[in-house]
Amino acid sequence: MPDLSSLQRSTRRLDGLVAVVTGAAFGPKAALGAVFAAALSAEGASVVVADIVDAEPVAEALREKGGRAVAVTVDVTEEAAVEAMAATAETAFGRLDILVNNAVVGSNIPPVPLAELDVAAWDQVMAVGLRGSFLCAKAAAPRMARNGWGKIVNIGSTTMQEGLPNRLHYVSMKGGVLALTRALARELGPQGIRVNTLATGLIANPAAGAAFTAKPELITKIRAARAIPEDVTPDDLGGPLVFLCSHESDAITGQFIVADKGAHFT
């Protein structure tokens, strides 16, 4: 028998690829975007860490671990700013292969019934989550097309399947994100670009807000509804994200991939 312990992968799954992750400024224990950036970097991708606030601490942490990363401050609702973000990927690393549309507002807002939901709040959630995803895809797609290959992963939510009440703007936005995913998959497929939605339910991290401290009975109910009755943590999502960004998933596009330990079956 050969000594299999001496065998190592010669390359990481994303070696040579360049990724942009939006909504990635906060530390790995607070925000999915930082976890996504770290997961992509660990597999060899060069990463543009983007957010509307300073993302340099996350980029610096990736560099300290041997990764290649730059930070970009960007408002994803502004077309010129998004175009500059995509251009930064090419300037810093020579290309753009992967886009993770993670920027969002509304996931941790208090419940608001329809009668109390104002237009400004609706517009803000739609602008960041849906308009932002559209603008980022618009900026990234031609750069990916020049290479004949690319991956766009939009971050979704199972609240869209549930029709969760009192979060009409957030649920509607996430439904729009899935529709955008499927339309982009059809349009961009001939250019070698795959587009998918990665979705989860409630995540056990500070970004989930007060749910994990104020309503323990709700959390117990959520755990019990899962086929694997455990919390879903940010670290649970890094692996599925890397898979969707790698060549291993090249046969998958236009899909709604749920990683929530079996609360929802699609």
The rounded distance, in Å, linking the Cα atoms of 57 and 49 is 10
Question: CA-to-CA distance for 136 and 17, rounded, in angstroms?
Answer: 18
Q: What is the identity of the amino acid at 163? A: G
Total number of residues shown for the chain = 266
Q: Could you give the C-alpha distances from 140 to 39, 65, 104, 236, in angstroms and in order?
A: 20, 27, 18, 26
Q: What percent of the chain is helix, strand and coil (3-state, nearest 5)? A: 50, 15, 35
Nearest alpha-carbon partner for 98 in 193, 3, 172: 193
Tell me the angle at which helices 56-64 and 32-42 cross, rounded to the nearest 10 degrees. 30
Whether 170 is catalytic = yes
**Which listed residue (170, 181, 195, 198) is catalytic?**
170
CA atoms within 13 A on the CB side of 185: 19
**What Cα–Cα distance (Å) separates residue 249 from each residue in 129, 241, 266?**
24, 10, 18
- Name the residues annotated as catalytic: 170
